Amino acid sequence: MEQREIDRLGRSVSAIGLGTWQLGADWGDVDGDSAVAVLQAAADGGVTFFDTADVYGDGRSEQTIGRFLREGGADGITVATKMGRRAQPHESEQYTLENFRAWTDRSRANLGVDRLDLVQLHCPPTPVFSTDAVYDRLDALVDEGAIAAYGVSVETRAEALEAIARPGVSSVQIILNMMRMGPLEEVLPAAREAGVGIIVRVPLASGLLSGRYDENTTFAPNDHRTFNRDGQAFDVGETFAGVPFATGLEAVRRLVPLAPAGATMAQFALRWVIDQPGVSTVIPGARSPEQAKANAAAADLEPLSADVLAAVEEVYRDVVAPEVAGRW
């Protein structure tokens, strides 16, 4: 597996990582043993970067990773967690040093580590991005040894650029996929220039880009693909990348024939992400060991040709861009 250096993190991470929201909650049910098997399959495939959050299953995702690390699952794994969303209400006033200490203490206990490798603010309220004191508090956590580094998970391109401009920020997590191309223009070049890692989430548009869904596909009631279709629970852009389901299906039908021989649609979509200059790692969410293994193998595909990249962009421009109209 190709490893990519993140300058500001002082570490290398696998080009294909693993997202572990699925191992916590909100994606139907995944039991504890299956969750550990997903982590093992990813590590066996060369994945060295796991993304989690303190709120995924209220700590269940972190605890599963902790169990995996304790049981000696693999060496050299970087675990990135997130904090902020435990705040009720989720407002910028909650981003205090006291709360930061409490949240990181809980994540350290869940993961069973003294120091967290990377903590990302979990899509914080917009005012947080311009608050100097928040970055000072994060620097204090580094000085105290609770965390090795910090980053930010963002919703918008403007937020990404604001975070990249902060010298202490090591990474920015953002949505990028064949149906979400906005970050290619300014965000990725700026991150590259600054040595900030780009962690790409929702690379499969919540599974739409696997090419397995059709007009009759349904999801479990406790799956956000049922309950957040219109942004009822959190930002609508997090579910199917904010693309209306029927539009997504139409785009995928045009993308499938472009996939390289021997690659699945999901692998093609992941290869597309890691072929974008500036991407450090992509974190597909896997619900089974088979998915985790197949996703890791996408790094073995040849980089996509200029013709294929242009054809993918044409589908985006024709089908998706008119629907998302500058939003993303």
Question: Which residues of the shown chain bind ligand NAP in the complex (CB under 6 A)?
Answer: 19-22, 27, 51, 82, 122-123, 153, 173, 201-207, 210, 212, 238, 266, 283-287, 291, 294-295
Q: Least distance to ligand NAP from the beta carbon of 261, Å?
A: 17
Closer by beta carbon to ligand NAP, 13 or else 205: 205
Closer by beta carbon to ligand NAP, 54 or else 238: 238
DSSP designation for 55: T
Closer by beta carbon to ligand NAP, 28 or else 73: 28
> Cβ(148)–Cβ(117) under 8 Å?
yes
- The CB density around residue 265, as the number of other CB atoms within 10 Å, is 19
What angle is formed at CA 204 by the lines to CA 21 and CA 80, rounded to 5 degrees?
A: 35
Q: Least distance to ligand NAP from the beta carbon of 276, Å?
A: 15
Cα gap 219→227, rounded to integer Å:
9
Q: Least distance to ligand NAP from the beta carbon of 111, Å?
A: 14
Closer by beta carbon to ligand NAP, 50 or else 143: 50
Q: Least distance to ligand NAP from the beta carbon of 267, Å?
A: 7
Cα gap 97→300, rounded to integer Å:
43
Q: Which amino acid is at 162?
A: E
Q: How many residues does the chain have?
A: 328
Cα gap 302→291, rounded to integer Å:
20
Closer by beta carbon to ligand NAP, 78 or else 114: 78
Q: Least distance to ligand NAP from the beta carbon of 245, Å?
A: 13
Cross-strand bridge partners of residue 323: none
